[in-house]
Amino acid sequence: MIREFLTANSPEEALRKRIASGEGSVFLAGGTEINRLGSVLCPSAVVALQDPQFKRIELANAAVTIGSCVTFQQLVDSPLVPAYLKDAALYCGSRTRRNMATIGGNIAMQRDDSYLMATLVAAKARLVMADISLEGQYLEENIPIREYHAFGEHFVESLLVHIILNKPTRFVASQRFAKTVQSPAAVTVSFGADISSGEPHDVRICAAVKGSGVVRFPEIEDGVSTGAFETPENLIPLVDSVLTFSDDITGSAAYKRYILGTAIADLYRKCLDSMKKGGAA
């Protein structure tokens, strides 16, 4: 039960207030996770992020900087946000929820049916994380999202301030598979690659798989980058080597395995088609 409601007008203030309020306090962005029925979070205190920078989307030096409290609907509405991220934001089918749910909150939760995480990894997003050092100093660090994904436990005390998207010519596309638009997804998968050289390289493939978590597929990424697959379908058997699938309400393990492999192959093909057309998505 929330017993304390605090507000912060800067990242530093937010971090210091959270530390002061002790264990059980969390940052409050949109609230769709913290306040919802069945949430895994049960904070005793919340620190509401009120600094306007948390809610801005800006373009500078060919990079789009997105505040962590930017809502899904802001992503959809902003002309600065790449289409692939708008697509991912629209996976949240409820407009009303999109008005509340934030990009930062979605990243922080790293849910196994995350709307955005796979796409942001595929896009090679970078995250600006803020911390208070052991010496009490306020610090900001710009890290690749893959680091956040791989070592999430290192960042539980940190505050996500910004998400940065660069490489605007990068191909990024995703697919989501769920019973209804608003049902939890069995699989949300995204494929990203730098196609500036005429061959896909710097590939990132990431999927949120219900029951398995948010996972990357390094072997397939390498295979695509090195042109190891004669056809996209050839990568499908490798899906199994990366993770274990489970049966649940979104589908059987066999279904998830099939659909994930098929979707990655489809996205790879789309990437190849996109290159043939000379564009990025």
* Residue with Cβ nearer other proteins (49 or 123): 49
* Residue with Cβ nearer other proteins (54 or 148): 54
Nearest approach, Cβ of 48 to other proteins (angstroms)? Answer: 6
Does residue 216 contact residue 224 with C-beta atoms inside 8 Å? no
* Residue with Cβ nearer other proteins (37 or 156): 37
Nearest approach, Cβ of 87 to other proteins (angstroms)? Answer: 14
* Residue with Cβ nearer other proteins (219 or 266): 266
Give the whole-angstrom CA distance, residue 187 versus residue 174: 10
Nearest approach, Cβ of 43 to other proteins (angstroms)? Answer: 9
* Residue with Cβ nearer other proteins (184 or 213): 184
Tokens of 59: 């373009």
Residue owning tokens 């409601």: 5
Nearest approach, Cβ of 97 to other proteins (angstroms)? Answer: 6
Q: Enumerate residues 6+ apart whose C-beta is below 8 A from 114.
A: 106, 188, 208, 214
Nearest approach, Cβ of 197 to other proteins (angstroms)? Answer: 29
Interface with other proteins (CB under 8 A): 1-5, 28, 31-32, 35-38, 45-46, 48, 93-97, 99-100, 177, 179-184, 248-249, 251-252, 254-255, 258-259, 262-263, 266
From the number of C-beta atoms within 10 Å of its C-beta (0-12, 13-18, 19+), residue 146 rates as middle
Nearest approach, Cβ of 277 to other proteins (angstroms)? Answer: 17
How many Cβ atoms are within 10 Å of 233's Cβ, its own excluded? 15
* Residue with Cβ nearer other proteins (19 or 181): 181
Does residue 76 contact residue 67 with C-beta atoms inside 8 Å? no
| 34-36-38 Cα angle (round to 5) | 100
Alpha-carbon 112 to chain mean position: 11
3, 141, 169: which is closest to 84 by C-alpha? 169
Tokens of 175: 């697919």
DSSP one-letter string for 150-202: HTGGGGTT-EEEEEEE--TT-EEEEEEEESSTTSPEEEEEEEEEE-TTSS-EE
Nearest approach, Cβ of 183 to other proteins (angstroms)? Answer: 5
* Residue with Cβ nearer other proteins (38 or 136): 38
